[in-house]
Amino acid sequence: MKNTFISRFTPSLMSPETLEAILVERHALAERLVELIRVSALTDNKHFQLLIGPRGIGKTHLVSLIYHRVVKMEDLRDKLLIAWLQEEEWGIASFLDLLRGIFRAIAKEYPLEYEAELDDDIEKLYDLSPEQAEFKAAELLRDFVGKRVLLLIVENLEDVFSGLGDFGQKQLRAYIQNNSFLTILATSQSLFDGVKLSNHPFYDFFDLHELDEFKLDDAVALLNHIANLEGNSDLASFIQSPTGRDRIKVVHYLSGGSPRVYIVFSAFLMTPESLDKLVEPFMEMLDSLTPYYQDRMKYLSNQQRKIVDFLCDRGGAAPVKEIAKRCFIEQRTVSSQLKDLRDKGYVKTEEIGRESWYELREPLMRFCLEVKKQRNKPIRLIVDFIRVWYTRKELQQRLGLRMADVDMAEKESHFLYWQGLKPIPPDAVMEREYYTRALEAIERNEEDPRLKAYFDEIKYCIEQKDHVSALAYAEKLVASRGDFQDWLVNGLCLISLERYDEALECLGKAITIDSNYDDARVWHILGDVYYERERYEEALEFYDRALKLDSKDQGAWAMRGYLLNNIKHYQEALISCDMLIGLDANFQPVWVLRGIVLNNLERYEQALESFDRAIELGENDPWAWARRGDMLNNLERYEEALESFNRAIELGENDPWAWARRGHILNNLERYEEALESFDRALKLDENDPWAWARRGHILNNLERYEEALE
C-alpha cells in the first residue's frame, strides 16, 4: 500500500497528482476557472473570480489544483505571472501592505527574477515615507509585470479587505482600473459586505462561485479516490459495499458535508478497533482551527454570541421560537439577530413549513467551540458517530455488559461476542468513555429535531393534498439521513404523484437498507406499488412478507388473491379468498373475487353462490351484478343474466364492459337490434375494445347488414 501525503489542513502542500486524483464534483468549475485565467492572460478581457464556502469545504484544494494547471501551460509561461498571497495575511493594514504582500509572493514564486530586478528597489522603499513608498511600490509592480498579466491569488479575501479598510479598497479598485494587468482568483468564507453592498468599491465586481457542501455520493467518490490513490484495494471494495456506504452516510449526516472531516474519518471507516486513530487527527484538526473561530466570536454582540453558543450546544438546527425560549431573548429580537448572523456567514437557514430553522453554517465551528467548552470530555461528533454506527446491542457487547433479554445460550456465557467484536480492554479508558456516552445517547433516544419537523410537514402537506411539497420535504429527509423510513416516505410521495418508476427506485433503496423491516404495513404498501406496475412476482413476495408479520391483514390477503388470479394461479388465489373470509365473512369484495376465481376454475354453481353472497352484502355494487350476469351466461341462463346486467347498468351506466356483455346476452337471445344498441354504447365509452367491435360485426351480420359488418 502506498504512503500518499494527503493534507487535512493545507491542501496547497499536496502534489498536483494527488490534488487531481482526489478532486470530486468540481471538475467543470475547475476547467472554467482555468479557461478564464487563460482568457485574462491572452486578451484584454480580465476576469475576477471569488470562491465562497466555509472552512473545510475545499476552496484551497480547488485553488491549488488551478494553480498547478496554470503553471504547466507552456503558452502562458511568458505571458502570466502568479502571486499567491499567504493564506493568513495578518500584516495587511493598508494598500501599501497589500503591495508588499504581492512582492513577497513574487519573491517566493520567481526568486531569481525577483533578486535581479526587484530586491534592491524593494529595500529602498523602507527609507521612504509611507505615502512615497506606496506610490513607488505601485510603480515597481506595474513596471515589473510589464506587458504580462499578474494572476493574484488571495485566500480569505474578507480578511484582506477588512485590513485594507474602505480607503485601501478604493485604492485597490482604482489601481486595477488604471492598470489592465491584474486578474484575481480569491476565496472567502462567506459573502461579505465588501462585495455585496452597493456602497462598497468592489460591489458587483467579482464573479461569485459558491461551493456546495458534499452530497453523500460526493463523499463516497472522495473516499474511493483516496483508497485507490493509496493502493488500498480492501478499503476501495469496502466503500462500495452496503456497510461501507452506511458508515460514510453516518459521517455525512454528522459532518454537514465537509470534505475535511471525510478525510479525517477515512482511515477509521473499515476497522474502528482503536479510537486513537480517529480522536488524535480529529483533535489536531480542531486545534488548528480553534484560534480562528475564537477570533470570529469576538466580532459578535453579546446576544449573537449567546445564540451561537446555544446552536453549538444544540448540535443541530432549531426554530426561531425555540432559540428565543432557550436564550431568554424576545422572539423578534432573535429573528433580527439571526438574519444578521446569516448575512455574516455564521448561520444558515431553512424554511420548514411555517417556521424558519437555523443552525451554524460551519460544522467545524461547532466542533471547535464544543471541544473548548467540554474540557477533555468526549467529542460529541465522535460520540454521535459511534451511536449511529453501532446498534444498542453491539455497544453493550463492546462494553461487556450483561443483558437481561438474551436467550439461554447467551446467558450461559454472560457476555455477548459477535463477529469478533470483543469487549473493550479494561485499560482502554478513552474508548470505554466514548462507547458509554454513545450507549447513553441511544437510550435517551436523541435525534435531530429537524427530522421530526420534516415528517410533520409531510403529514400536513398530504392532508392538504399538496403532494409536490410533501415530496420536497421527503427528499430533504433522504438528503439529511437516508434511512429506511426516509426512502420509504420518499417513495410513497412519488406514488401519490403517480411517478411509479421513481417510486420503485426509492423503495428499492429502502429495502437494500433494511430487508428485514418488521412493519407489515410497509411490506403491504410495497406490494401495492409493485402490483400497480404489474411486477407481480415481487409484489407477491411483499404481500407474503406482510402476511408473515400480520396474518390478519385483510387487504394483503385480498390483493394477494387478485394478483394470483391475474397470473392464473387460481387454486392459490382461492386459498387467499378463503383465508380472508375466515377473518371476515362479511367482507363483500372478497366474495366477488372468489366468484371470479371459481368462474376461472369453471366451478360455475359455486361461483354463482359467491356472487349472490356478494350482492347480499352489497346490493348496490354494479361490478358484483355484472360478474353475476357473466356467470349466468356461462350457465346459459340468459334471461337471468340479462336482469343482472340491467341492474349493473342501472347502478353504473358508464361501465363499457357491462354494456358489451349485455349486448352479448341479447345476441344469445336473438334480440339483435337491442344487442347492437348495447355494443354501440360500449364502444362510445371505450372505442378501443376489439372484442366489442368484433361482436358488433357479428350482430350486423345477423341483421344481414354486411357492409357495416365488414367495417
pLDDT in tens, 217-242: 888 888 888 888 878 787 788 777 76
pLDDT at 366: 80
The answer to whether the predicted template modeling score (pTM) of the entire model surpasses 0.75 is no
CA 332 to chain centroid, in Å, comes to 32
pLDDT in tens, 3-57: 555 555 566 677 888 889 889 889 999 999 999 999 999 999 999 999 998 877 8
| CA–CA separation, 699 and 689 (whole Å) | 16
pLDDT in tens, 136-150: 999 999 999 999 999
pLDDT at 418: 35
3-state secondary structure of 185: strand
Residue type, 162: S
Give 103's contacts (C-beta < 8 A, 6+ positions apart): 114, 118, 122, 137, 140, 141
| CA–CA separation, 533 and 531 (whole Å) | 5
3-state secondary structure of 401: coil
Positions of the chain with pLDDT lower than 70, given as ranges:
1-12, 89, 242-243, 246, 250, 253-256, 266-278, 373-376, 388-389, 391, 402-422, 445-448
198 to 169, 204, 206, 357, 439: CA distances (angstroms): 14, 8, 13, 29, 53
| CA–CA separation, 450 and 480 (whole Å) | 9
37 and 66 Cβ atoms separated by less than 8 Å: yes
Rg for the chain (alpha carbons), in Å? 36
| CA–CA separation, 96 and 170 (whole Å) | 13
pLDDT at 140: 96
| CA–CA separation, 301 and 306 (whole Å) | 9
**For the chain, first and last CA: distance in Å?**
78
Give kind and range of the element (H or E) at residue 175.
helix 157-178
50 and 186 Cβ atoms separated by less than 8 Å: yes
Closest CA to 191 of 346, 330, 81: 346
pLDDT at 447: 64
| CA–CA separation, 317 and 451 (whole Å) | 10
Q: What share of the chain is helix, strand, coil (3-state, %, to 5)?
A: 65, 5, 30
| CA–CA separation, 74 and 80 (whole Å) | 10
| CA–CA separation, 5 and 229 (whole Å) | 10
pLDDT at 573: 92
Closest CA to 106 of 74, 146, 134: 146
331 and 324 Cβ atoms separated by less than 8 Å: yes
Q: What is the DSSP letter of 295?
A: H
Residue 684 grid coordinates: 362510445
pLDDT at 406: 40
| CA–CA separation, 569 and 540 (whole Å) | 12
Strand locations in 175-299 (E)? 182-188, 207-210
pLDDT at 410: 40
Residue 539 grid coordinates: 409484489
